[in-house]
Structure 1
Amino acid sequence: MNSKRTTYWKLFLIPLFTMLFGMVTGGCSDDKEELQGSQYGYVQFKLYKSASYAKGGTTRAGDLNKLGEAQKVEIEMLYNGASITQTLILNAYNESNAEYGMRSDKLQLLVGDYKVVGYKLLDKLDEVITSISASSDETFAVVSRGLTVKDLTVDVQSRGTVTFKLTKTGLPETRAAGDASYLFKDIKLIDVTVTNTFTRESTTFKKLKVAYKEEYKEHENPDDPNDKYMDIGVATTDSAVWLPTGNYRVTAYTTYRKSGAVETSLETQEVAGEQFAIEDNRLTKHANVPILLSETKEYIKDYIALKEIWEALNGTEWGYYGAGETPGANWNFNKEMDMWGDQPGVTLNSNGRVVGLTLEGFGAKGRVPDAIGQLTELKLLALGSHSEKLGRNMFDQTNWSANMSETQRTNLRMHYRNTFLDYDVREGLSEMIQKSINDDATQKPIRKSNRISLKDVQTGKYTNQITFVSKAVMRLKQLQLFYIGNAPIKAEDICTDWENPASEYAKAYEKENLTWKSMTELTDIEIYNCAQLDRFPDFLFALPEMQLLNVASNTGISGEQLKNDWSKLALSPVGKKLQILYLSYNNLKSFPTDGSLRYMKKMGMLDCYSNEIETLAPFGKEVKLATLTLAYNKIQEIPEEFCGFTNDVETLDFSHNELKYIPNIFDASSVHVMGAVDLSYNQIGSVGGKNVENPETFKGINASTISLAYNSISKFPSDLFRTGSPISTINLSNNRMTEIPEYSLKGKNGNYKNTYLLTSIDLRFNKLKSLSDDFRATTLPYLSNMDVSYNCFSKFPTEPLNSSQLKAFGIRHQRDADGNRILREWPEGISTCPSLLQLQIGANDIRKVNETINPRLWILEIKDNPNISLDVTHLCPYIKAGMYMLIYDKTQDIRGCDTLKQ
């Protein structure tokens, strides 16, 4: 051991020996411990970079690139002429923080003055990085029980930190050819390359996270003087990175999109950013990374076209109405150009291209310009539709997206039907039967429709003033849905010419071979409520793949013209592909009679609701329809070979016509049972009391629900049951029947094979006086609901009561020919009916009720029986508990439950 280290150990061993000797000879003494502790103090060394040290420390030469490379300090000190050397660990929170200084472990020393001779810095392998000799004035003092901090310095590469700000820069044609377009806000990660302006050395920082937000700055909107602020997009890196001191500029970048864990490179560009300076241990905020935007890129050109369309259609006066957007909303172009695509009614894809444009609800006015042809990625173009004011926006994210699923496509195609045409035929049943069905978990609930409500926009009324659409639409090869609605536009002004042949767009597009034959993606067309339309636009006949056509509410087209256009459409190439045709609220008087309908092989849905149709022509059995709506016309007969039907028929609507017979276009023997057939509000039974024209050839109806309400039926339609029609629900209300003879439901030999399926019968508003044995459980074992209210029963018909499934029975308001109340006797034993839950027997003249009513019959309606006397003592606990519903008049003699008097 050298002399210096020997001296050091002597300094500490002598006091230690003295302390131990004192303990042996005299034991522990508090005073001695206090005296010995006061002989020591602590020193801690802090190591700083010379370049950023502000306290006048001596700078020493060193070989460190980063201060954090030093892991230990070996320091040599002089104390009272003796040399002391100690190695201490250096600490910092992390490598980045180490640049701002490191501190050693605390060292306990004897009180006194010390001089630093020198120090060495060691790496993590205890190898010497650098040795530094201290100046003559490098001293420190250790005080009793105190901590002395001594600063040391070393020459280290000077470094500072920097964050980056991405700014938009528009330069002509600066992007490399073939680079994909993308939105500024889509940048989630970025590689940034910076170059030292003096040494020309470059450094690249990889995958820096980018945070985007939208702000604003003062800038008056030229379209709206009240708008004083422009929207801007701001993107910054969210962490600082280190650089050696010097002057730099950003010279390249690579941007990335990120979705979940998937990172996608967007583009790489060389740029010339603004110069920025890096100072030692200082943060330089928001060095500029110029993201190059070009007005010649397609997505920017889309946005320029949007502004031209907005200006051409009187955009400054727009104000949105309807659902889906803020009322009064308008487009705003007081923002950076690459943000122009962010507008109400505009949908962009991941590359910033416009894929959806809906102008419905804004009140557009004027001529759709040639600029529309720039939007070559457009998949949806809606210049108005059948649903601008009613309910939510039909093109919301639920129903439409750039990559539509089959469910979304079906929802859009059925939107008009579901909103204005669709209904549940069972809505015509009595309220009692409807409630019973809805309370039965085994049956499909009866949905309420809007069928009778007012339409979204009344026929002939306009919501916009669009009068022309440029034929530049033919450039939109990706277009799938094209809607025009509620506009004073004429057929000759729809896509037949340029809006301005001298426009730059028209000049450029004129060189292209524009043809509708290339529009193979365009499948769904709507031209709705355009009162000045006097014929189908020509382009409809040229489309190669049209599957849906909605031309409803175009009352300017005459019946004859509409028939001829339909025939022309059927004979065109698209006639074989058309699947859905909406023709409601028009002037059609006759179907095409030239045989053209047989070519419409894929027709599955036909809507002719509310026209003036008198004559139908057949499609033929090869054309199989799933949905047919012929309601509100003047049809007197339906040809037997009218059409075939698919296996998915839900509702066929022939209501509100002048049919004299039940049409013979169905087949009860089919294994496929349709949902419902509505033949209500016709004249069936008016000719000689016949319900079918030829019983010998009548094939029945293969439907589970049939409505024959509001006809002239005087004879029960037994032909339906004779032919084996699989009917479960039948509505025969509001007819002229006075009796239902025996065997009407089962046949004399009991051979009507499907009668047993009947569960619900509505016979209200007839002239019936009794029921035959056909209504017993032997014939109708599953009868659940029956209503014979508003008839002429003087005796309660007990035949249905032995059905084990009967849940609801109605017999209200029985009158004779003079209007006298004729049902007076309570049906004794009604409580023994095994499953009856509801009885409506009001508006009669029931007198004394002697029966103790079973609480299982938990809905009892007895209103408007002025002479009734009923004791409900046994029911009172259930009434109080809310478990029994008695519908009565407070003037009636109801006894045994004070709750009813409250």
Structure 2
Amino acid sequence: MKRFVLMTLSAILSVSALLVTGCAREELPDNRETDYGYVQFKLYKEVSYGNVTKASGDNLLDELSQAGKINIMLTNSEGRTISQTLTLSAADNEAAEFGLRSAKLRLLKGDYEVVSYALYDNLDNQIGNGNRTVVAKPLTIIPGGMEVFDLTADVAPRGMIRFNLVKDLSGLDPVPALRDRRDNGYTFDEISSLDITLVDVNEQTQVVSFTGIPVSFSIHFSGDEHHDGADNVAGNQTSSSQADSIVYAPAGNYKILSYRLYDSDDLLLEDQDFTNSLEDQATVIEVTDNELTEADVPVTLVMADGYMRDYYALRKIWLALDGPNWSYEGQTWPKGSNWNFDRDPDLWGDQPGVQIHDNGRVASIDLSGFGIKGKVPDAIGQLTDLVQLSFGNHNETRRYHDQAASAAAQPLYPVKGSAEDKALWRQNRYKDFGKYVCPTEPISPVCALALRMNGKTSSAASYYDNMSLDEISRMAASRAVPTVDQVRPYDMNLGTMTNGLTGISAEIRNLTRLESLSIANSPITKEGFPGADAFSPLTALIDLEIYNCKNLETLPEGIASLPSLITVNLSTNGFTEQGSYDALNNLASGSSQDVIQILYFLQNKLATLPVSVGEMASLGMLNVMQNNIQGDLPALGRNFAPQELSFDDNHIKSVPDEFCSLEALTSFTISYNELTEFPNFFSSDESNIIMSAINVAHNNIKKLPDAGTFHGVRVNTLTLTGNPIDVFPAELAATNSFVEVLTMQSCGMKSFPEENCFNGENSDYLTTLDLQYNNLTDIPDYFSARTLPYISGMDVSYNAFEEFPLEPLNILRMTAFGIRSQRNSEGERCLSDWPEGLSTHTGLRGFYIGSNDLRLINDDISYLIFYLDISDNPNIIFDATDVCSAWKAGQYFLYYDRTQDIIGCDAMLD
């Protein structure tokens, strides 16, 4: 043991010795030269160097970069002369102006004197003053070191200039003499490049010119014209254009002799020559050698330019309409926005609600949502390039059920778009309006789900357009089934004002390019409108909206004489009964009779539809819903060929057979009226016409006309909801009617005919059947795959079935089926059957049997029926084993209550 300790101690000492030895500093050899050192010569421009070593001579170099080599004459302490030629270099020619460096010269240690030097270009040609004598200055070479020795050369002094285009506002009042400017002027931000010529004020023979200098426009605050990107909020907002490059000029004091401004296409904007007015220029551009001078080039703004007159007119309009108190409400601009005139006048066109043309002229003004008050002043007549003008509109406050649409800002009028772009804007704008104020009765979500899954569409399913399949299915399994009241909200109620517009100046007559005019939600009266002579010049006006003006009792004079109207909205005004008739009649027989395509005349007091409407040759859409039209509609004749007609919410009792042509008609809605007979305007010569939608919901139609007199219908979606039809209409099959989607909710229907009512030539085209809220207890045997092979969606919820009707489930294409909430006459749950073998149906994807009285479900459950509703069955016992894994993977949707007895999938109860 003792021996082991000694050996261990010996090893430790040995390692320690090695460590100490390893940490000793190693002496490295000194590789520096002991007898030699280096010198590097730096050559500067004499004029900017200061009181140091200078060369003699009179000849000047134009640029220091001309010197490519230098020959140096030196003497050492022993009197020996040394001559060496060295190269000179700099990063580039511009950097050369601040000095050149020579290659390093290796010399023996000791003292030297630089006697003279000569400069050469890169071709070895001597330049400058020849050999130059240097005032005695010692040069000491230190072994291993390097000395720097400065020399100078006679070079013409040059400085740098960066031009900044700044605005001269003195020309706004009074107007200066006419200058050579592009027609109608130009905006400051159009300037893209600059040509400029300077003259030396002391030596006027010295003129320097620069061409094609690019400039960049920026908006900043006054006092910060040469800003570095950080705004200085000390002053009002202004703008300037700064040159993107720096130019060089001989040192001197300069004034601007002339300049030319160009746009991005190199088109001349302005040409100014100051030869005869140099003495009037107060600013002198001082160029100092190797210094950067910021040179302002004033560009005078003149009131004669059309865009400047427009911007001053904007300010007058703002002041006249209570502009200082505006506060924007809407989605297009930030909440609380207002116009801002604390900036240079040429920036006044940049306002919320204002669009401008490329030439700076005002193109569009939309004052909807700002809360304007007062009368539009005469200044409106200055805006002669205006194409759109809006003092409120029907979308000013969105209250639609569709939250995504409600939150979205409305697209601006395409002032720079093509005629097709503008037509599309008008079409979408009014389709959007029509979609939300007069929707079709909503089909059940079960049927909507089947349509979506099979790639089909229907106007009755438009309520669900922005929903996903899962969202539609969730609604189908809930008690929140949409009704027409939920999908018929109005943007503005009659009499709800959002602004205080009281009048419009007759100077509106000057807006001969105006294409769109909207006046809405205003207390304006007929007297507040200008006379007829103010409207007659507006020959370009194609879109007119006068909406929700509660004090307007009839159409203003001159509106009917407008010759080019295409889309017109005269809805929700304070028109009297006679005023309503006169307004529609005068418009229908006015100058635009043959060109109007879309006409909205909702929510007025119209009691009689003028026959003159039938003479509107181009009318494609007419909407007169929510008026007070009484009795029978007039026969407008087969020459009247619209595409969409809406007569909902009136007191119409009948529609004549010769009411209109069906040649172009796609949609006819006349719900909530007093019809007792189904309109019979299809004729034998129009048998190939298939309409998109016919809606006669909520009338008093008890049955369809007999087959002997009834011509039938040919339509994608037929809505009979809310009519007292107690037996399913066999007349559809008897007249070989073509119907794909049939909605008969809330008809009080009790049964189907005893004989087959689906045996017509076109019966098999039926794909969707909505029979909710009736009193059905049975579905006949002839309801089968043989008679209805393509039906994919059916909903018989809210009826009185005591036994499950298996007939629909024998149809292979059935995709979604609803049978929720069956109640007997006592209001008791009456359906307790489960359709055994349901899992064998290979086409079914949605099955809704909630709110019944199901008990033990002793059947396989198919994962293919991935939308299954069993909710609100309080006594159910449901084994979810077959679908548990799919449910946990998010691939199966079971609608159930946690209070129900769900077995086989504990995760459903967590």
Question: Shorter chain as normaliser: what TM range?
Answer: 0.7 to 0.9
2:55 and 2:134 in contact (8 A); partners too? no
1:667 and 1:701 in contact (8 A); partners too? no
**What is aligned with 2:154?**
155
What is the CA distance between 1:139 and its match in structure 2? 5.1
2:239 is equivalent to residue 246 of structure 1: no
What is the CA distance between 1:834 and its match in structure 2? 3.0
**Within-5 A mapping of 1:859-874:** 859-874=867-882
**What is aligned with 2:674?**
658
- Deviation track 1:774-808 (CA, whole Å, cap 9, x = no partner) reads 31000111111112223333332222222111122
What is the CA distance between 1:370 and its match in structure 2? 1.1
Distance 1:451 1:590 in 2: 29
**What is aligned with 2:52?**
56
Distance 1:378 1:250 in 2: 38
- Deviation track 1:570-591 (CA, whole Å, cap 9, x = no partner) reads 2222111111111011111111
Distance 1:873 1:137 in 2: 108
Distance verdict in 2 for CA 1:620–1:210, change over 3 Å: same
**What is aligned with 1:278?**
287
More divergent stretch after superposition (613-622 vs 356-365): 613-622
2:39 and 2:147 in contact (8 A); partners too? yes
**Within-5 A mapping of 1:529-548:** 529-548=548-567
SS at match of 1:739: coil
Distance 1:204 1:648 in 2: 71
**What is the percent sequence identity of the aligned residues?**
35
What is the CA distance between 1:646 and its match in structure 2? 5.9
Distance verdict in 2 for CA 1:880–1:482, change over 3 Å: closer
Distance verdict in 2 for CA 1:890–1:310, change over 3 Å: closer
Distance 1:695 1:448 in 2: 35
Give the CA RMSD over aligned residues. 3.0
Distance verdict in 2 for CA 1:377–1:870, change over 3 Å: closer
Distance verdict in 2 for CA 1:35–1:612, change over 3 Å: closer
Distance 1:626 1:872 in 2: 52
Distance verdict in 2 for CA 1:257–1:716, change over 3 Å: same
More divergent stretch after superposition (522-531 vs 884-893): 884-893
2:318 is equivalent to residue 310 of structure 1: yes
1:427 and 1:446 in contact (8 A); partners too? no
Match of 1:109, as an amino acid?
L
What is the CA distance between 1:408 and its match in structure 2? 4.7
Distance 1:304 1:394 in 2: 32
Distance verdict in 2 for CA 1:485–1:144, change over 3 Å: same
More divergent stretch after superposition (440-449 vs 597-606): 440-449
Distance 1:188 1:847 in 2: 81
What is the CA distance between 1:656 and its match in structure 2? 1.4
TM-score, length-scaled by structure 1: 0.86
SS at match of 1:831: helix
Distance 2:30 2:823 in 1: 119
**What is aligned with 1:42?**
38
Distance verdict in 2 for CA 1:156–1:803, change over 3 Å: same
Q: Select 1:268's aligned residue among 263, 266, 271.
A: 271
- Deviation track 1:338-370 (CA, whole Å, cap 9, x = no partner) reads 222222222122222111112222221111111
SS at match of 1:173: coil
**Within-5 A mapping of 1:495-894:** 495-496=530-531, 516-554=535-573, 556-593=574-611, 596-614=612-630, 615-645=632-662, 649=666, 651-666=667-682, 670-685=687-702, 690-692=703-705, 695-747=707-759, 752-889=760-897, 892-894=900-902
2:198 is equivalent to residue 202 of structure 1: no
1:160 and 1:278 in contact (8 A); partners too? yes
Distance 1:154 1:870 in 2: 103
**What is aligned with 1:457?**
492
Unaligned runs of 5+ in 1: 1-32, 220-226, 498-513
**Total equivalences in the alignment:** 830
1:321 and 1:361 in contact (8 A); partners too? yes
- Deviation track 1:272-313 (CA, whole Å, cap 9, x = no partner) reads 6511211111222x2120111112221111111111111222
What is the CA distance between 1:374 and its match in structure 2? 0.5
2:512 and 2:540 in contact (8 A); partners too? yes
More divergent stretch after superposition (472-481 vs 175-184): 175-184
2:513 is equivalent to residue 478 of structure 1: yes
**What is aligned with 2:230?**
none
1:777 and 1:802 in contact (8 A); partners too? yes
Match of 1:326, as an amino acid?
P
What is the CA distance between 1:667 and its match in structure 2? 5.7
Match of 1:529, as an amino acid?
N
Distance 1:455 1:228 in 2: 47
Distance 1:827 1:135 in 2: 116
Match of 1:676, as an amino acid?
A
**What is aligned with 1:216?**
221
What is the CA distance between 1:608 and its match in structure 2? 1.0
SS at match of 2:661: strand
Distance 2:502 2:196 in 1: 51
Distance 1:479 1:446 in 2: 34
SS at match of 2:127: strand
**What is aligned with 2:73?**
76
- Deviation track 1:368-392 (CA, whole Å, cap 9, x = no partner) reads 1111111111111111211222277
Distance 2:807 2:419 in 1: 53
**Within-5 A mapping of 1:315-334:** 315-334=323-342
**What is aligned with 1:358?**
366
Distance 1:67 1:539 in 2: 78
2:437 and 2:488 in contact (8 A); partners too? no
- Deviation track 1:468-521 (CA, whole Å, cap 9, x = no partner) reads 111111111211111111112122331229xxxxxxxxxxxxxxxx77454332
**Within-5 A mapping of 1:346-425:** 346-390=354-398, 399-404=413-418, 406-419=420-433, 421-422=435-436
Distance 1:88 1:37 in 2: 22
1:248 and 1:276 in contact (8 A); partners too? yes
Unaligned runs of 5+ in 2: 1-28, 225-232, 399-404, 466-484
Distance verdict in 2 for CA 1:105–1:526, change over 3 Å: same
Match of 1:630, as an amino acid?
F
Distance 1:421 1:493 in 2: 32
- Deviation track 1:626-648 (CA, whole Å, cap 9, x = no partner) reads 22221111111122222234658
1:369 and 1:469 in contact (8 A); partners too? yes
2:221 and 2:234 in contact (8 A); partners too? no
Distance verdict in 2 for CA 1:231–1:36, change over 3 Å: closer
Distance verdict in 2 for CA 1:94–1:677, change over 3 Å: same
Distance 2:415 2:328 in 1: 21
What is the CA distance between 1:722 and its match in structure 2? 3.2
2:436 and 2:489 in contact (8 A); partners too? no
Distance 2:59 2:870 in 1: 107
Distance verdict in 2 for CA 1:110–1:623, change over 3 Å: farther
**What is aligned with 1:19?**
none
Distance 2:570 2:896 in 1: 52
2:62 is equivalent to residue 65 of structure 1: yes
Match of 2:208, as an amino acid?
T
Distance 2:872 2:101 in 1: 99
**What is aligned with 1:235?**
241
Distance 1:892 1:45 in 2: 98
Distance 2:381 2:894 in 1: 69
SS at match of 1:695: coil
**What is aligned with 2:261?**
255
Distance verdict in 2 for CA 1:94–1:871, change over 3 Å: closer
Distance verdict in 2 for CA 1:178–1:591, change over 3 Å: farther
Distance 2:731 2:867 in 1: 35
Match of 2:712, as an amino acid?
G
SS at match of 1:456: coil
Distance verdict in 2 for CA 1:396–1:825, change over 3 Å: closer
What is the CA distance between 1:95 and its match in structure 2? 0.9
Distance 2:410 2:902 in 1: 56
SS at match of 2:122: coil
Distance 2:216 2:885 in 1: 68
Match of 1:409, as an amino acid?
A
